[in-house]
A and B are shown apart, each in its own frame.
Chain A
Amino acid sequence: MTSSPENKITRSDLVKSAVNVGALGMEFSWTYYKQMNIAFCLMVANMLKKIYAGRPDDYAEALHRHCAFFNITVQFAPFVGGIAMAMEEKVARGEIEPESVNDVKAALMGPLSGIGDSIFLSTLRVVAAAVGISLCQAGNPFGPIAFLLIYNVPGFALRVWGAVKGYELGVGFLDEAQRTGLMQKIMTCVGIVGVMVVGAMCKDMFWASIPVAIGSGEDAQTLQDILDGIMPGMLGMIAFWLYYWLLSKKINPMVLIVATMVVGIIGAFFGVLA
C-alpha cells in the first residue's frame, strides 16, 4: 500500500491533520452518545475535500461516513485518520467499498485504545505526575510544567508520526503487528514500566504512618520505626494489595474513599494513625 501517482494526499496534509482543530479537540465535543465522532470528522474533512474534489455528493457522503461513532486514546487518532485516508483514496477510485473504511476504524478502536491507554494514561501520565508531584511538594513552580512536558512531548510526536505512518502503511499494519507478536511485545514492555512505577510509588508516595509507641523511656520506638526497619514503605505495599483485593471484589471506589476517610478520622481521634 505505497503511494501511487493518483494519490492526492500529501505529507503536509497529513501533518496538518495531526494538529488541526479536530485532532486536538477529540474530547472537546465528546459525548456519551457518539464520543469523538464530530472531532474525527473535522480532523479528516480537509483531506476528504481534496480526495473528492469536484464531486460534492461523494464528499458529503464521506463527511457523513466519518461522523460515525469513534473513540480512541487521543494521541492515536491521527494514525487512524491516516489509515482511513489511504482507504478513502481507494474508495474514490472505486477499488473498495465505502463501508469498509468504517469497519476498519471500528476494528482499530479496541486494540489501539488498549495499547494507547496503557502507554499514555497508566504509564506516562503516572511517571509525569510522580515527577511533577515531587517538585510541587518541594514548592518548585516548575512541577506542573514538568508534568505537562513529560506527558505531552511524546504524545505530539506520536500524533504527527502516526498520521504520516498510518497513511503509508494503510490497513495492513495492524494485522502485521499482531501476527508478528510486536503488539504483544510492546504491551508487555509498557506493562513492565507501568507496574514497576506503581510499585515504586507505593513506597515513595504513601505517607500514612502508625506513631504508636512501643517500649518506654530511652528505648521507646514507634511501630512505624520497627516496620521501616524491616522493609521501608511496607505499609504502602500492604495498603496497595488490600485495596487491590477489595477492588477485585467489585467494591465501588467511592465506597472505599468514604471508608478510608472514616478509618482516617477514627485513627486520628485515637492517635494511632498519622
Chain B
Amino acid sequence: MESLSWGEIILRMLAQFTPVWIALVVTFALSITFKRRLGLYGKLFDSPIGMIGFAMVMFWVFTGVFGGAFDLITTHGVLDQSASMKNKPPGTAFSKLMGAPDPDAYPYYLFGGDHLGRDVFSRMIVGAWEVIKIAPFASLFAFMVGITLGLPAGYYGGKLDTVLSFLANLILAFPVILLFYLLVTPEIVLTGIPVYMAAVLFLFPIVFLVILWNSRFHTQPARRNFYVGVTLVIGLWLYLGIAWNADPLGIIGFPPNLLVVFVAVVFVNSPTVFRIVRGLTMDIKTRDYVAAAQTRGEGPWYIMLWEILPNARGPLLVDFCLRIGYTTILLGTLGFFGLGLSPESPDWGSTINEGRKLLTMYLHPALPPAFALLSLVLGLNLLADGLREESLRD
C-alpha cells in the first residue's frame, strides 16, 4: 500500500477525532445557549481568550476520555509492536514483519512508528488519559489540604500561623526535582513512606468535608448527621482503598507506583495553595460581613468555610486552572526522568524522553506528545486568564 500524503494524514486524523468534535460542538452549543443562567462558567463564553482556552482543555479531556477509557479514537494498541514499523515516517501503511496484518486493523500509522514500532498517534491519545486521570484530582487534593490548613492559619494567625508557614516554606525551599528523586524511587516505596504520606494527605479531604457540613448544619442535627454520615462512609471507604490499599469490598485499589506519583505531586502543590489561601483569608477577614458574622455569634469554622471561602473563590478558581497545568508539567517531568511510571507507559513525559534520543534523525515520535502537552497547558493558562478577567468584572 502507498504511504499517505500530508493532506490525507490530516484528513484521516480529523476523522479519527470525530467523537471529540461532536462532544465539543454539543458542549459549546449548550453552554452558549444557556450562558446567562450558568454563573461564572457562562460568563466564560463572553471572553474569546477564555473560550479558546476552554476549547483546548475540553478537546484533551474528551480525547482522553473517549480514547483512553472507551478506546474510540486510538488506531492501534499502545503496546503493540511491529518490527517492520520501527521509526517509520507518518502515514506509513501498517505492515508486519511476519505474516499479514489483521485485516480489521487500521491500515496506517498516522503519525508513524516509534523506535519499537508502536503507533505514535495512539500513544499520544492514551497519554492524554494518563494526564486527565491524575492531574485534576491531584490538584483538587492539594487544594483541600491547602484550604484546610490555610484558612485557620490566616484567620487565627499567631503561633499556628508561624508553625504552618514555616513548614510550607520548608517544602517550598526544596527543589522539586530533588524531592522527586528522593521520594519517587522503588526503594522509598519499599519503606512504605508514600503510604504514610498518603494516609496523612488523604485524610484532609474527609476532615474538610466533615467540618464543612458540621459548621453549616450543626443547628439541624438530622441533616448534619446525614451529610456527615454519608461523607464519612464514602470518604473512609475511598480512604482505605486509596491510601492503605485495604478496601474491605475489594473494589478500589491504587497501584503503589501511581500512589507515590500522586502523593509527590499533591505534596509539592499544597504549600503554594496554603500560601494563597492564607493570604486571601488575611485580607478577607477584615471585611464587614465577617465582623457581622462574628457579632451574630457564628463559630470560627462557619466563618472560615461559609463566609470567607466563598468570597475567595475567584482567585482560587483561577489558581486551580493554573495548578492543573502545572501538575501536568510536573507529571511530564516525572515521565521525562523515568520516575514512578512504568517505562512502557504511554504518558507524554516518558514518550518525549524516549523520542528525544533519536531526535536528530527522527522527529515524529517526540513531537506529537510535546505539542499535546504544550497545547493542554496553554489551554489551561488561557482558561485561567479568561476566568480572571471575567471574575474581576463583577
Q: Do A and B come from one complex?
A: no
